[in-house]
Structure 1
Amino acid sequence: MNLKHWRVKNKIAGTFTLLFFVAIFGLGGLTYVHTERDYTNRTLELVHTSLAQMTTTVELYLQDMERLSLAIFSDPIIQRILRQSSSEYGVQYDNNEMMSRMVQFTSPWPYIQGVYLFADDGRIFSIAKGSGISSDYSILQEPWYPTIREGTAAPFFYWPTGPESTVVRNPQQVFSLIRPINDLSEGKKLGYLKIDMNAQVMRSTLFKAALAKQDGDLLLRYMLLDSEANVMYDSEEQVTGKKVPYELESVLSLQEGSVKWSETRYLFSKNKSNYNNWTLLALAPNKDVINQSVKIRSLIIFLGIITLVVISVASYMLAAGISRPLTSLIKTMKRVELGDFKVRAEDSGQQDEIGRLSRVFNMMLESVDKLIHRVYLLDIRQKDAKLMALQAQINPHMLFNTLNSMKALSRKQQAHDVADMAENLADLFRYSMKGWNRPVTLAEELEHVLNYVHIQEVRYRDRLKFECYIPDSLLRAQIVKLSIQPLVENAIIHGLEPKIEGGTLTLSARVQPEPESESQKMIITVSDTGVGMSPDRVRSINEVLENNDISMDELPETKSGIGLLNIHKRIRLLFGAPYGLYLESDEGVWTIVSIHIPYNDSMIHDKE
């Protein structure tokens, strides 16, 4: 917006507000940036310390697993049974002995999912929490066996997390310790040992303290990766047993920083174990890390807004005291713009430029009001002259006498239709010529309409069907004279006459309450089942009806002598908007013209 178009008070208030805005939010922005950086660095330091402690815990747990495997490895009973392919006590005895020893070793380890001993002669001894191993299962079906058979594996190693290979139904996610078992006396290989550890041990034991967050604590996501970047465990359990997502591969070469993964920005920190080269990775959503600084930013914004409001109000009030006389003059001008030429600018008594401007403006309104009054009287007299000229063209007495003579002659000749038409026509002229500028009751206007309809029924006969639904309680209501008959005439001539089979003309009236008011309005509708009008034609007519600036001389008139727009203008002149005529139509089906006027059932009659 051009500054030249601003009001004086807005310029003053805007200048003070802008200067303060730059100062408060400039300082607030610097404070926020510094606070955000500080919170990020402190968070990374705390996370790194926590990761070092957790890495130590993981190392100790894995070392305990290795000790367990050595205990099973070196047990004399297990060595004896694996060394002898057959036993004098039988196979079942050996199985029971092996199961008893494995249960004894693993009972303190609640998260061991299964222990499997694969003898070189094909025997398999196992205990497992899941379904038992199938009878035809062999070590060849183990995913790690090709690696250890080729001799590329270490004396013992961990197999990445994945579903249990020996369980058919409902396998759990486990990671496995694999090691060969050698004869302690002879040194030859007796078989292989596999210990399956449920991956949930990481959540329940290792990460328990880290995951037990209090309300408001930073929520971290942990991933335990082996040396091959396999996800041994994910605290969200979404990528457990999978390769590390490719978006996170870049973090493996960095100690800490920021990374975007799954449309979310994370801060990360990691710690690598020197014991087995496993990596513990911690991810924190960036929005959670900077949450505290965001709160500070929100507080700065809130206080800045409050202060801005106070400064704006104070500067506005100061400026308003200077510009109030101008504002009052502008309000007066707006009322004049809406057509109120009786209003006058308030004279504050000031002798400055604004005071003189108000007095000159009031003098101009006096002159304009007088000019409008003269033009309005001239227009009324001109209309009266036109109407008197029209009335003077026909001698009412001669017309009525002629019509009465026609009626008497028609009765004598037994031409009752002609007599009725003459009588109706005489009533039409009598009603139109007398008291045209006074309000009438709905009953009087209805009688005039019926006289016109009777004439048209003789003309159109079966092609015209007239229906009237007006309650007796509304017959005393006041309406504008000659407001319904022209609509009925238009409906017959322009709606029903072009239709070969004719149609139905319906006249109805009802009363409904005004919205947000205790008054009521009456709606009179004239509808026909004629040829209708196109949507463009209906829209065009309604736009003209809503045009308050159209001159009475520009109104097209119908054969009845009073045009559609003339009726609308007279209603608007008497009652104002939103009263008047409203048009609806469906081309080829129907047309409805409704009259909206205030409801008044009092009886007022001017002298005719």
Structure 2
Amino acid sequence: MFLTASFCAAAIIISMRINDYNHRLTENLSTQLIESKANEAGAWLAQRIRELHTISRTPTVVSMEDSALKSYVNQLSNDMDSYYGNDYGTFAINRLDGIEYITENQTIDVSDRDYFREMLFSEAEYVISKPVISKTDQSLITVACYPIFGKTAEKVGFVAAAISLRKLTELTDNLSFYKGKSLIADSTGSIYTNVDESLSDSLVRNIIEHIPDNSDSKVSYKDVVEENTDYVVFYAPIPNSYGWFLCTAVHRSELFMDAELLARSLVGIGIVLLFVAISVSFLVSNLATKRIRILSGAMQDVRQGNLETSISLNGNDELSDLAEDFNVMVADIKKLMHKVYQQQKEERQRELQVLQSQINPHFLYNTLDTLQWKALEHGAHELSDLIVSLSSFFRISLSKGKEFITLEKELEHVRNYLVIQQFRYRDILEYNIDCDTELCKCSLPKILIQPLVENAIYHGIKPKLGSGAIRISVFEEDNILKIVVKDDGVGMNEEKLNQIKNNLDKHYTGNNYGLYNVSRRIFLNYGENYGLDIDSEENTGTTVTVRLPKMMEDTDV
């Protein structure tokens, strides 16, 4: 049902588009044809004006002498047919006072006529009168006037000619255009050609009412309804005239008959092609859906927990790429699940170690306090200080089961450890701790620095021949808390340094606290953006930098 509705909608839209395009194409072609006929009429009119221009430049005419003008006018009338064919009725020469020479023995006064007054006061190159009926043969004519300029370039008179409009009538009658009818008129209602009898008076009036006022306009057309009949009327301005338009009225049904027939034919062909396309698409979709069903089944298997699922779709299309991506995704899920399992296993082991370390801690503290008092009773003050450091070391290590402590407590824990180690390695170990007091309330995992110090003592200071020093500095850089443990021990060569760095990248862990253990704990708590940086130079020393997010005591991880 949906495809049928879509198909019908598409057919209607295509039909409308084709019909609209054909209508515009027909209108454009019709406009070009009408314009060419209007230009033809304009060219004929221009030729008549040029002929008048030639007569106005004749020496006899320029002289404006009475006797010569009468003889010349008579000659023009006698030779009119041989020189100018039947395009003219009569010629005349007008003086500025309105006297018009018609023949050698006949003059009339035209000073009260519109075309004479317009020519007398106008700056136009020539003047064409409204159409009139010739008194000699009852034909339609218009009077064209061209100025005569004397030897001093002043206006001395006019050449006037009664131009027959028979040629324009022939042009409109012979205009074969979708059985349409044509006439030439202006916006004032003057008609310059004979009107075909099939055009009713009301239609002619309707045509003239829509003539554009601007004769410089391009070809246009209007929809006109007359007596329940739709017409398309084309208006083409005629060059070299004063507001004349070639008007052609065509039945709309005649004008667009061929276009609509073509549109129906194209729609019919389109329907056949569309049916073929739909049939082919059904075949292609059946092939595609079979492969989609295979892919969907594999996804259902994974959803039910079967991560051993793998599919293979031959081809180089998008479905084949999707199947390959699916296999990669399943493999990544398996790796991720294994990784999460290992992390959870390590977390449980850490929790177990913490629980084990909390077994009866008070017994240990009470015993250490008793040893401290016994040492004081015997005057062993140095031994008493050592026991205090050891007791504080264990208290902070346990921290009542807390995983995170303040930086201040962590540094106290390290300081206790160093006091104990300094007592043990009295002659070879020196240390210094430098920390900004504003950072003391920062929160971090406990026992994070002590393993690094222990590593510096046993692998850096102790193997060195002579005394050594450990410097611990804590500072903030770009909202990152940096803890630097630096020793001046034996250091290590580049090969061993690279091996340690590679093991850190692989998150290698050992059984005891050390570099790998600290690196792993940072990764589990903060992710891959934080960790350890190690630099070392053989026989110079080693620097370990811990990078942690700056987090205050009450901030959640």
Range class of TM-score, shorter chain: 0.3 to 0.5
TM-score norm. by structure 1 comes to 0.36
Q: Greater RCO between the two (CA within 8 Å, min separation 6)?
A: 1
TM-score norm. by structure 2 comes to 0.39
Q: Say which one has the larger Rg.
A: 2
